[in-house]
């Protein structure tokens, strides 16, 4: 009887641990999906900056303002992505704190994606 109880306790413990790990992995995967959708656009952002710089050549200071704003927004998106990538660490276990951290990181990477996408759209709209 003791062996049966021990086996049941051990089995439930293993299920609890692996279930929590899946929670962390699932949340991490959701975060990385957002990251993986926008990270390839970093090269596009760099090219847009070059195109904006070239497009504003020969324009007066007032005409350059929207181009400078677009360049600033592109850089902000890039900076946000680099900062997020440097700070993000996948938790190794599913504690309430780590699950909260993952929720916060999902919000943070979504904000990065929004910034990048808005900056790209604005920049494209300015270019001929």
Task: Note the pLDDT tens digit of each residue in 60-70.
Answer: 999 999 999 99
pLDDT tens string 75-112: 999 999 999 999 999 999 999 999 999 999 999 999 99
Which pTM does this prediction carry? 0.80
Residue 3 is given by DSSP the state: H
Domain count, the chain: 1
CA distance 104 to 115: 17
Separation between Cα atoms, residue 47 and residue 54, nearest integer Å: 11
- 8: containing domain: 2-126
């Amino acid at each position: 009887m003791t062996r049966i109880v021990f086996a049941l306790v051990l089995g439930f413990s293993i299920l609890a641990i692996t279930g929590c790990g899946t929670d962390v992995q699932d949340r991490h995967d959701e975060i990385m999906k957002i990251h993986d959708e926008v990270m390839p656009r970093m090269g596009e952002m760099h090219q847009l900056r070059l195109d904006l710089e070239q497009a504003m050549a020969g324009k007066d200071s007032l005409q350059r303002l929207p181009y400078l704003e677009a360049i600033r927004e592109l850089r902000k998106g890039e900076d946000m992505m680099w900062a997020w990538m440097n700070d993000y660490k996948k938790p190794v276990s599913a504690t309430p704190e780590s699950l909260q951290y993952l929720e916060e990181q999902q919000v943070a990477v979504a904000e990065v994606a929004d910034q990048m996408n808005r900056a790209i759209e604005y920049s494209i709209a300015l270019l001929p």
